[in-house]
């Protein structure tokens, strides 16, 4: 049976060159980067070289990069670090209804500590309006946190416009770039951001490593204490193999991003075109054009999402119904609900995220096995029935 991996937004396989770089610092160059002897100095050199590579990828200074355990920790450090450092200035935070739970849950936790949080709505494409951001700003606003690209539907947010608003009002601005980094350009000066969260395992580095960009001179406090590592901003012995791997992955991503984005966009658009043309009662979730080059999200009506995923898995196709971080939840996606999609339809969502090893044959295979799966699952649904275009008697919402 053919095996097709279409879940790169959940995680990516480690790139062979990245694995080789990582192994070097697992096996041979094993020193503690805080040690002053030769073994420590070699490890320190690896950390700083990786810092330069990540900084180069986003147009920042190396000293503005902190290595973390991943995107979730980076979000936590940015949001709570700003909140605690600026409490005497204000207590208001602005975010959106489609953020990752690493952002939403930390904002919710801050509400219990006396902070006020405005959660902005999105339109039917999952887009945040810069006008709604401007309208939400008060004289107590200290932070705006809006993700660069959505992890579930792929919509790319107008971060540059929001960044300009934040800069004009003197408000700190954080963006979760976990899904966008390495796939589309992320330049801190062009986006006018003060904090950027990055995760390694979305760009062919291993799990457990990430980074946080903190613009030099902003008011921010570390949220943990205990050592002098990372200029006292994130204590604890550095994950040297992971850091070296992230640096290598960032370097490769910058070298290949333009060509890979163009290639994946062609595969993505073919998939969208054929599915939308060949199936009734299906919708494309997310913005039709302002979306990540590797990202597709469909909602198949009258189908339960878990059954769809299991049926695809039996045919060798690995996909998801949304964020891997909420895959154990029985609730429909908070992102799709925020976009106005009814719960019964949100339950039938299918997220397909392409990667470097996918090709035309993978897309063709998926398109070949999908019809029988859709037909079988819809035949099992008590709600599904075939409707002609001129049906005048049916008043159900799914008859269009």
For position 387, what pLDDT does the model report? 45
The more confident residue out of 232 and 389 is 232
Mean predicted confidence (pLDDT) in 229-234: 94
Is residue 322 scored above 90 in pLDDT? no
Beta strands in the chain (DSSP E): 4-5, 65-68, 92-96, 116-120, 141-145, 172-176, 195-199, 210-214, 282-284, 295-300, 317-318, 349-353
Catalytic residue among 107, 325, 391, 399: 325
- Rounded Cα distance between 79 and 195, Å, is 9
Is residue 333 scored above 50 in pLDDT? yes
End-to-end, the C-alpha distance of the chain in Å comes to 37
Nearest to 162 by CA among 173, 151, 176, 178: 173
Q: What is the CATH number of domain 4-9+257-399?
A: 3.90.1150.10
Q: How confident is the model at residue 28 (pLDDT cuts 50, 70, 90)?
A: confident
pLDDT (tens digit, 9 = 90+) per residue, 4-16?
999 999 999 999 9
- Rounded Cα distance between 315 and 3, Å, is 8
- Rounded Cα distance between 53 and 46, Å, is 11
Residue 48, Cα to own-chain centre: how many angstroms? 26
User: What is the assigned CATH class of domain 16-253?
Assistant: alpha beta
Please check whether residue 238 is in contact with residue 33, taking contact to mean a CB–CB distance below 8 angstroms: yes
Please check whether residue 112 is in contact with residue 82, taking contact to mean a CB–CB distance below 8 angstroms: no
For position 389, what pLDDT does the model report? 44
pLDDT (tens digit, 9 = 90+) per residue, 259-283?
999 999 999 999 999 999 999 999 9
Boundaries of every domain in the chain: 4-9+257-399, 16-253
- Tokens 């990202």 belong to which residue? 295
Q: Is 206 helix (H, G, I), strand (E, B) or coil?
A: coil
Question: Over the chain, what is the mean pLDDT?
Answer: 93
Residue 107 is among the residues annotated as catalytic for this protein:
no
């Amino acid at each position: 049976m053919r095996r097709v991996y279409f879940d790169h937004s959940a995680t990516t396989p480690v790139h062979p060159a990245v694995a080789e770089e990582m192994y070097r610092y697992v096996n041979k160059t094993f020193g503690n980067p805080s040690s002053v002897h030769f073994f420590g100095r070699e490890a320190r050199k690896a950390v700083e070289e990786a810092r330069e590579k990540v900084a180069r990828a986003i147009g920042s200074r190396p000293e503005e990069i902190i290595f973390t355990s991943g995107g979730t920790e980076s979000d936590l450090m940015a949001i709570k670090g700003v909140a605690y450092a600026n409490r005497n200035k204000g207590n208001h935070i602005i975010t959106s209804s489609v953020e990752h739970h690493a952002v939403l849950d930390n904002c919710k936790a801050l509400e219990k500590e006396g902070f006020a949080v405005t959660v902005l709505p999105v339109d039917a494409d999952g887009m945040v309006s810069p006008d709604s951001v401007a309208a939400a700003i008060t004289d107590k606003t200290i932070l705006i946190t809006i993700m660069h690209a959505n992890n579930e539907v792929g919509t790319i947010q107008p971060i540059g416009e929001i960044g300009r608003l934040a800069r004009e009002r003197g408000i700190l601005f954080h963006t979760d770039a976990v899904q966008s980094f390495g796939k589309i350009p992320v330049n801190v000066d062009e986006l006018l951001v003060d904090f950027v969260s990055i995760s390694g395992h979305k760009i062919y580095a291993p799990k457990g490593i990430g980074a946080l960009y903190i613009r030099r001179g902003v008011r921010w406090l570390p949220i943990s204490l205990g050592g002098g590592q990372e200029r006292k901003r994130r204590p604890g012995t550095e994950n040297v193999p992971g850091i070296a791997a992230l640096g290598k992955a960032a370097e490769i991503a910058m070298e290949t991003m333009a060509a890979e984005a163009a290639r994946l966009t062609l595969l993505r658009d073919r998939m969208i075109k054929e599915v939308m043309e060949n199936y009734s009662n299906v919708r494309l979730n997310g913005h039709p054009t302002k979306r990540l080059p590797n990202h597709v999200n469909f909602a198949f009506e009258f189908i339960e999402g878990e059954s769809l995923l299991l049926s695809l898995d039996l045919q060798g196709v690995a996909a998801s119904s949304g964020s891997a971080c909420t895959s154990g939840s029985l609730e429909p996606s908070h992102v799709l609900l925020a976009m106005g999609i009814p719960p019964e339809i949100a339950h039938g969502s299918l997220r397909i995220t392409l990667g470097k090893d996918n090709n035309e044959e993978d897309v063709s295979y998926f398109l070949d096995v999908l019809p029988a799966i859709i037909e079988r699952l819809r035949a099992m649904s008590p709600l599904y029935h075939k409707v002609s275009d001129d049906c005048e008697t049916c008043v159900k919402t799914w008859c269009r």
